[in-house]
Amino acid sequence: MSVEPFMITVPGSTANLGPGFDSVGLAVDRYLTLVAKPA
């Protein structure tokens, strides 16, 4: 059985901006990319 490599990309964001009480966030132009492949 072989395992195929895969890649996941998720957008970055900020949370808890000022007195937003966990309801105010901000999307940013940054991404987190994870690449996984068998060793």
The predicted structure's pLDDT at residue 16: 63
Domain boundaries, the chain: 6-36
The predicted structure's pLDDT at residue 12: 82
Q: Per-residue pLDDT tens for 1-39? A: 788 999 999 988 776 666 656 667 777 888 999 999 988
Angle 17-8-2 from CA coordinates, rounded to 5°:
155
What is the H or E stretch that residue 6 is in?
strand 6-15
The predicted structure's pLDDT at residue 4: 92
DSSP string across 1-39: -----EEEEEEEEEE--GGGTT--EEEEEEEEEEEE---
Flag whether the pTM goes above 0.75: no
